[in-house]
Amino acid sequence: MTPSFSQMAQGPTSRSPHVQEKIHSWFTTTNRVLSMPNYCTHYTIQQLINIEDQIQRSQAVLVWEENEKSQLNFVAVAATLVASVVGQSLAWPQAGDTHWMVTVLWYGSLFMSLWCVIIAFHLSMLFSAFDVRSDRAGALLNMLKRRGKDEPRKHHLWVLGTPIALFSWAVISYMIGLAVLILRPFWTAAWNQDSWVASFTLVYGLVCVVIYIVVGATIYGRILPDLARWRGDGFLEAK
Protein backbone atom coordinates (compact mmCIF):
# COMPACT_ATOMS: atom_id res chain seq x y z
CA MET A 1 0.00 0.00 0.00
CA THR A 2 1.30 3.39 -0.96
CA PRO A 3 1.98 5.49 2.14
CA SER A 4 0.04 8.69 2.53
CA PHE A 5 1.60 12.09 2.34
CA SER A 6 1.40 12.49 6.13
CA GLN A 7 3.14 9.14 6.67
CA MET A 8 5.86 10.07 4.22
CA ALA A 9 6.30 13.36 6.01
CA GLN A 10 6.60 11.60 9.36
CA GLY A 11 9.24 9.15 8.11
CA PRO A 12 12.33 11.34 8.50
CA THR A 13 10.88 12.77 11.71
CA SER A 14 10.68 9.31 13.27
CA ARG A 15 14.34 8.79 12.48
CA SER A 16 15.46 12.22 13.58
CA PRO A 17 15.87 11.32 17.29
CA HIS A 18 18.30 8.55 16.31
CA VAL A 19 20.22 10.91 14.04
CA GLN A 20 20.27 13.59 16.72
CA GLU A 21 21.52 11.04 19.24
CA LYS A 22 24.36 10.04 16.90
CA ILE A 23 25.30 13.66 16.26
CA HIS A 24 25.22 14.43 19.98
CA SER A 25 27.34 11.34 20.69
CA TRP A 26 30.00 12.36 18.16
CA PHE A 27 29.96 15.96 19.38
CA THR A 28 30.32 14.84 23.00
CA THR A 29 33.17 12.46 22.17
CA THR A 30 34.98 15.12 20.12
CA ASN A 31 34.62 17.64 22.93
CA ARG A 32 35.99 15.13 25.44
CA VAL A 33 39.00 14.35 23.24
CA LEU A 34 39.79 18.03 22.64
CA SER A 35 39.33 19.01 26.29
CA MET A 36 41.02 16.02 27.87
CA PRO A 37 42.00 15.31 30.56
CA ASN A 38 39.10 17.25 32.11
CA TYR A 39 36.47 14.60 31.42
CA CYS A 40 38.62 11.75 32.73
CA THR A 41 39.48 13.71 35.88
CA HIS A 42 35.84 14.69 36.40
CA TYR A 43 34.75 11.07 36.05
CA THR A 44 37.39 9.85 38.52
CA ILE A 45 36.47 12.40 41.18
CA GLN A 46 32.77 11.73 40.72
CA GLN A 47 33.41 8.04 41.43
CA LEU A 48 35.29 8.97 44.60
CA ILE A 49 32.38 11.11 45.76
CA ASN A 50 29.89 8.33 45.03
CA ILE A 51 31.62 5.84 47.37
CA GLU A 52 29.28 5.47 50.35
CA ASP A 53 31.60 3.71 52.79
CA GLN A 54 33.72 6.39 54.48
CA ILE A 55 36.76 4.15 55.03
CA GLN A 56 36.82 2.95 51.45
CA ARG A 57 36.35 6.49 50.19
CA SER A 58 39.25 7.77 52.31
CA GLN A 59 41.50 4.99 51.01
CA ALA A 60 40.46 5.71 47.42
CA VAL A 61 41.16 9.43 47.86
CA LEU A 62 44.67 8.71 49.17
CA VAL A 63 45.35 6.36 46.24
CA TRP A 64 44.17 9.08 43.87
CA GLU A 65 46.49 11.59 45.56
CA GLU A 66 49.54 9.36 45.11
CA ASN A 67 48.68 8.80 41.46
CA GLU A 68 48.21 12.54 40.98
CA LYS A 69 51.65 13.26 42.49
CA SER A 70 53.31 10.70 40.22
CA GLN A 71 51.48 12.19 37.27
CA LEU A 72 52.69 15.70 38.11
CA ASN A 73 56.29 14.51 38.41
CA PHE A 74 56.09 12.70 35.08
CA VAL A 75 54.52 15.66 33.30
CA ALA A 76 57.11 18.08 34.70
CA VAL A 77 60.00 15.91 33.49
CA ALA A 78 58.37 15.28 30.11
CA ALA A 79 57.64 18.99 29.62
CA THR A 80 61.27 19.81 30.40
CA LEU A 81 62.36 17.37 27.70
CA VAL A 82 59.92 18.90 25.23
CA ALA A 83 61.25 22.38 26.00
CA SER A 84 64.77 21.11 25.36
CA VAL A 85 63.74 19.57 22.04
CA VAL A 86 61.99 22.78 20.97
CA GLY A 87 65.02 24.86 21.89
CA GLN A 88 67.29 22.62 19.81
CA SER A 89 64.83 22.70 16.91
CA LEU A 90 64.78 26.50 16.87
CA ALA A 91 68.55 26.38 16.31
CA TRP A 92 68.22 24.28 13.14
CA PRO A 93 69.41 26.02 9.95
CA GLN A 94 66.10 25.11 8.26
CA ALA A 95 64.14 26.88 11.01
CA GLY A 96 65.49 30.26 9.93
CA ASP A 97 64.42 29.76 6.31
CA THR A 98 60.90 28.44 6.62
CA HIS A 99 57.36 29.72 7.07
CA TRP A 100 56.90 32.15 9.96
CA MET A 101 54.16 29.91 11.37
CA VAL A 102 56.78 27.31 12.32
CA THR A 103 58.55 29.79 14.59
CA VAL A 104 55.23 30.86 16.14
CA LEU A 105 54.18 27.27 16.85
CA TRP A 106 57.54 26.34 18.32
CA TYR A 107 57.77 29.40 20.53
CA GLY A 108 54.22 28.68 21.67
CA SER A 109 55.22 25.10 22.44
CA LEU A 110 58.22 26.35 24.42
CA PHE A 111 56.06 28.72 26.48
CA MET A 112 53.46 26.04 27.24
CA SER A 113 56.14 23.53 28.25
CA LEU A 114 57.81 25.94 30.66
CA TRP A 115 54.52 27.04 32.21
CA CYS A 116 53.56 23.39 32.54
CA VAL A 117 56.66 22.79 34.67
CA ILE A 118 55.95 25.86 36.82
CA ILE A 119 52.30 24.97 37.44
CA ALA A 120 53.17 21.33 38.17
CA PHE A 121 55.67 22.56 40.77
CA HIS A 122 53.03 24.72 42.47
CA LEU A 123 50.52 21.86 42.48
CA SER A 124 53.14 19.59 44.06
CA MET A 125 53.56 22.19 46.81
CA LEU A 126 49.77 22.24 47.22
CA PHE A 127 49.67 18.49 47.82
CA SER A 128 52.50 18.87 50.35
CA ALA A 129 50.21 21.16 52.35
CA PHE A 130 47.64 18.36 52.53
CA ASP A 131 50.24 15.76 53.55
CA VAL A 132 50.85 17.40 56.94
CA ARG A 133 47.19 17.19 57.96
CA SER A 134 45.92 14.32 60.08
CA ASP A 135 42.61 14.42 58.19
CA ARG A 136 44.34 14.42 54.80
CA ALA A 137 41.68 12.36 52.99
CA GLY A 138 38.83 14.53 54.27
CA ALA A 139 40.65 17.74 53.37
CA LEU A 140 41.39 16.47 49.86
CA LEU A 141 37.78 15.43 49.34
CA ASN A 142 36.62 18.84 50.55
CA MET A 143 38.85 20.45 47.92
CA LEU A 144 37.46 18.22 45.18
CA LYS A 145 33.78 18.31 46.15
CA ARG A 146 31.33 21.19 45.84
CA ARG A 147 29.91 22.39 49.13
CA GLY A 148 26.51 20.91 49.84
CA LYS A 149 26.47 18.87 46.61
CA ASP A 150 27.75 15.47 45.56
CA GLU A 151 29.49 16.94 42.53
CA PRO A 152 33.13 17.75 41.73
CA ARG A 153 34.34 21.33 41.77
CA LYS A 154 34.88 21.95 38.08
CA HIS A 155 37.17 24.93 38.64
CA HIS A 156 39.46 22.95 40.95
CA LEU A 157 39.52 20.00 38.54
CA TRP A 158 40.42 22.37 35.71
CA VAL A 159 43.35 23.66 37.76
CA LEU A 160 44.54 20.13 38.54
CA GLY A 161 44.38 19.16 34.86
CA THR A 162 46.21 22.25 33.60
CA PRO A 163 49.75 20.72 33.52
CA ILE A 164 48.64 17.76 31.40
CA ALA A 165 46.61 20.01 29.11
CA LEU A 166 49.55 22.40 28.61
CA PHE A 167 51.92 19.50 28.02
CA SER A 168 49.58 17.91 25.46
CA TRP A 169 49.07 21.12 23.54
CA ALA A 170 52.80 21.90 23.68
CA VAL A 171 53.58 18.59 22.00
CA ILE A 172 50.80 19.08 19.45
CA SER A 173 51.99 22.62 18.70
CA TYR A 174 55.54 21.39 18.16
CA MET A 175 54.39 18.58 15.85
CA ILE A 176 52.26 20.93 13.76
CA GLY A 177 55.23 23.26 13.36
CA LEU A 178 57.44 20.32 12.45
CA ALA A 179 54.88 19.20 9.87
CA VAL A 180 54.81 22.67 8.28
CA LEU A 181 58.61 22.69 8.17
CA ILE A 182 58.79 19.28 6.51
CA LEU A 183 55.88 19.82 4.10
CA ARG A 184 57.02 23.22 2.87
CA PRO A 185 58.67 21.77 -0.30
CA PHE A 186 55.18 21.02 -1.58
CA TRP A 187 54.52 24.70 -2.30
CA THR A 188 57.97 26.32 -2.48
CA ALA A 189 59.96 24.25 -4.98
CA ALA A 190 59.77 21.83 -7.87
CA TRP A 191 59.45 18.14 -7.16
CA ASN A 192 62.74 16.89 -5.74
CA GLN A 193 64.15 14.71 -2.97
CA ASP A 194 62.72 16.96 -0.27
CA SER A 195 59.28 16.49 -1.81
CA TRP A 196 59.59 12.72 -1.45
CA VAL A 197 60.63 13.14 2.18
CA ALA A 198 57.62 15.37 2.76
CA SER A 199 55.28 12.87 1.09
CA PHE A 200 56.31 9.88 3.16
CA THR A 201 56.42 11.96 6.34
CA LEU A 202 52.87 13.10 5.63
CA VAL A 203 51.77 9.45 5.47
CA TYR A 204 53.39 8.74 8.85
CA GLY A 205 51.77 11.82 10.33
CA LEU A 206 48.29 10.97 9.04
CA VAL A 207 48.56 7.42 10.38
CA CYS A 208 49.53 8.74 13.82
CA VAL A 209 46.68 11.27 13.80
CA VAL A 210 44.17 8.56 12.90
CA ILE A 211 45.51 6.31 15.67
CA TYR A 212 45.29 9.19 18.15
CA ILE A 213 41.69 9.93 17.18
CA VAL A 214 40.71 6.26 17.46
CA VAL A 215 42.36 5.93 20.88
CA GLY A 216 40.76 9.14 22.16
CA ALA A 217 37.32 8.23 20.80
CA THR A 218 37.58 4.74 22.32
CA ILE A 219 38.61 6.01 25.76
CA TYR A 220 36.22 8.95 26.00
CA GLY A 221 33.40 7.66 23.84
CA ARG A 222 33.30 3.98 24.85
CA ILE A 223 35.36 2.83 27.81
CA LEU A 224 34.69 5.61 30.33
CA PRO A 225 30.94 5.89 29.56
CA ASP A 226 30.60 2.10 29.92
CA LEU A 227 32.64 2.18 33.12
CA ALA A 228 30.30 4.83 34.51
CA ARG A 229 27.35 2.47 33.94
CA TRP A 230 29.12 -0.62 35.34
CA ARG A 231 27.17 -2.08 38.25
CA GLY A 232 29.88 -4.39 39.55
CA ASP A 233 27.92 -7.59 38.92
CA GLY A 234 28.99 -8.11 35.34
CA PHE A 235 26.24 -6.06 33.72
CA LEU A 236 25.84 -2.54 32.43
CA GLU A 237 23.01 -0.32 33.53
CA ALA A 238 20.60 0.78 30.84
CA LYS A 239 21.22 4.20 29.35
Mean pLDDT of 89-105: 89
* 184-193 per-position pLDDT tens digit: 877 776 777 8
- 239 pLDDT more than 80: no
Asked, as a colleague might, if the bond just before 163 is cis with ω within 30 of 0, I would say no
Number of other residues whose CB lies within 10 A of the CB of residue 104: 13
* 2-59 per-position pLDDT tens digit: 454 344 444 444 445 676 776 766 666 666 656 666 777 888 888 888 888 889 989 9
Show the DSSP H helices in the chain as ranges. Answer: 5-34, 38-50, 54-90, 100-131, 136-144, 154-183, 185-188, 193-218, 224-228
Task: Determine which of 60-74, 137-151, 213-227 has the lowest per-residue pLDDT on average.
Answer: 213-227
DSSP string for 15-58: HHHHHHHHHHHHHHHHHHHHTTTHHHHHHHHHHHHH--SHHHHH
Domain map (residue ranges) of the chain = 37-184
Cα 25 to Cα 175: distance, rounded to the nearest angstrom: 28
